Amino acid sequence: MSIKTVVGAQWGDEGKGKIIDWLCEDAEHVIRFQGGNNAGHTIVSEGKTYKLSLLPSGVISGKYSLIASGVVVNPQAFFNEKASIESQGIVISPENLGIAETATLVLPYHIALDKAREQYSTKIGTTLKGIGPAYEDRVGRRAIRLVDLLDLETVEARLENILFHYNALLQSMNQETFATHDVLAYIKEHAVPLLDYMVSDTEIVEKAFFDDKSILFEGAQAVMLDINHGTYPYVTSSNTVSAQTSIGTGYGYPIAGNVIGVAKAYCTRVGEGPFVSELLDETGDIICQKGQEYGTVTGRKRRCGWLDIVALNYAIVKGGITELAITKGDILDEMDEIKICVGYKHHEKVYTKLPLTIDLYEVEPIYQSLPGWKSSTFGITTWDQLPKNYKDFIYMIEELTKTPVSYLSTGPDREHTFKI
Ligand code: IMP
């Protein structure tokens, strides 16, 4: 049996969908264990581009895919995405896709509250998909879970109380409020059909272990956006680290195996929050243009910067990362010089480990410089074909992180990924 987990090793958008899709070949089950339709996974295969937010990437290669308990499920987003992927010739049915009975639903009032809060100066720069309020409901014991839809009378009674809470908040921000019967009608129309897909994620994982199946756990967002371990408060509302595989599926035993951390050859970030190696100059613009760094979910321009080893080393420890996949090195093909952030300077003090006790906005990056490779690496699929300076860049990452770089991606297509 093989167990692999893929997590983002930066601030998201590292190309996880593509690496997951590539690793799917050897997997029998693909399990999404956190996040919701705030994620944006792009898979390019045989000339077709698939955009996934909520569905596990395994659906594209026809592997049994599971949306586990740790995920928050927007019913309308689920069916829209399903329809869009099916229109590209992929079949999705309860035969190859399950949703955990205890998964939390994302409902219209979550989205309304997310949008309302993001109007203030304390905004996080969220995807406005209602993810934060849905996870808050889970912890606040107000959430409506998939299994709850088996008893709509109780849901209706609970909704009354849930809407006291939401309407009070929305009213205080001069927003429209919700009526119970409208939300109930929405649930009947959009959420109840999800019951066709309801399964026990714990049973599926347990059985997969007993039957010696290979499992691929699909992470969304990234370690630096983890609710406990990321650059709080500029984070998402779920645990994105690999330890979440156990909690997110309700399979209590620690799930071992390889953890692949996906990182770009540079860094990007969307939304607010500190970004020490951010490039606010022409180089940043070049990376953004060449890398097409615009959000899959929101279309927002991503902030770009050099590879940050201080943050990456932190993500490796917190994320339980055992090997790295480096993507998008080809975006740096024309650079004369490539920089790697190897330390942080704060008021004359130098840090090589991510300091959580200082204001990261006040930090200056310390860079190590490498000569560029100045030749096209796009689509190269063997190590030997890569230019020497590219290889030196990868060796440098391995040396600085003490973690093997096992996979490289040199272009958007499925064929452009290889194991070193
Ligand atoms: P939320 O997850 O929509 O609440 O957004 C919280 C923060 O996480 C914001 O900075 C978002 O831009 C960021 N975020 C959420 N999902 C992703 C993702 O898939 N890629 C990159 N950033 C994300």
Mutation to probe ligand 1, out of 126, 138, 237, 238 (largest number of atoms < 8 A from CB): 126
Mean pLDDT across the chain: 96
How high is the pLDDT of residue 205? 93
User: Which is catalytic among the residues 29, 41, 190, 416?
Assistant: 41
- Strands 337-346 and 349-351 come out as antiparallel
Task: Name the amino acid, one letter, at 282.
Answer: E
Answer yes or no: is pLDDT of 91 > 90: yes
How many angstroms is it from 72 CA to the middle of ligand 1? 14
Answer yes or no: is pLDDT of 391 > 90: yes
Contact predicate 201/250, CB 8 Å? yes
How many angstroms is it from 413 CA to the middle of ligand 1? 24
Active site residue 330: no
How many angstroms is it from 69 CA to the middle of ligand 1? 19
CA pair distance 254, 245, nearest whole angstrom:
8
For ligand 1, atom 10, name the residue with the nearest CA: 271
Nearest to 155 by CA among 183, 133, 179: 183
Answer yes or no: is pLDDT of 295 > 90: no
For ligand 1, atom 8, name the residue with the nearest CA: 236
Residues 6+ apart with CB under 8 A from 279: 287, 304, 305, 306
Q: What is the pTM of this model?
A: 0.96
How many angstroms is it from 388 CA to the middle of ligand 1? 36
Answer yes or no: is pLDDT of 146 > 90: yes
Q: What band does 297 get if pLDDT is binned at 50, 70 and 90?
A: confident
pLDDT in tens, 235-266: 999 999 999 999 999 998 888 889 999 999 99
Cβ of 126 less than 6 Å from ligand 1: yes
Cβ of 244 less than 6 Å from ligand 1: no
How high is the pLDDT of residue 418? 96
Cβ of 36 less than 6 Å from ligand 1: no
Nearest to 213 by CA among 16, 99, 58, 419: 58
pLDDT in tens, 341-350: 999 999 999 9
Q: State the CB neighbour count (10 A cutoff) for residue 327.
A: 26
How many angstroms is it from 126 CA to the middle of ligand 1? 5
User: What are the C-alpha distances in Å from 20 to residues 59, 216, 349, 378, 409?
Assistant: 11, 8, 39, 20, 12
Task: Name the amino acid, one letter, at 311.
Answer: A
CA pair distance 395, 400, nearest whole angstrom:
9
Mean pLDDT of 43-49: 87
Contact predicate 42/412, CB 8 Å? yes
Nearest to 322 by CA among 368, 259, 262, 276: 259
User: What are the C-alpha distances in Å from 39 to residues 53, 73, 247?
Assistant: 5, 12, 19
For ligand 1, atom 11, name the residue with the nearest CA: 126
Nearest to 68 by CA among 210, 254, 220, 189: 220
Cβ of 38 less than 6 Å from ligand 1: yes
Cβ of 40 less than 6 Å from ligand 1: yes
DSSP string, 30-54: EEE-SB-TT--EEEEETTEEEEESS
Active site residue 229: no
For ligand 1, atom 22, name the residue with the nearest CA: 12
Q: Which two tokens stand for residue 90?
A: 């992929």
CA pair distance 364, 298, nearest whole angstrom:
30
Answer yes or no: is pLDDT of 1 > 80: no
How high is the pLDDT of residue 200? 96
How high is the pLDDT of residue 398? 98
Residues 6+ apart with CB under 8 A from 214: 1, 2, 3, 4, 26, 27, 28, 29
Residues 6+ apart with CB under 8 A from 125: 118, 234, 270, 271, 272, 273
Cβ of 225 less than 6 Å from ligand 1: yes
How many angstroms is it from 80 CA to the middle of ligand 1? 20
Mean pLDDT of 17-31: 93
* Residues of the chain above pLDDT 90, percent: 92
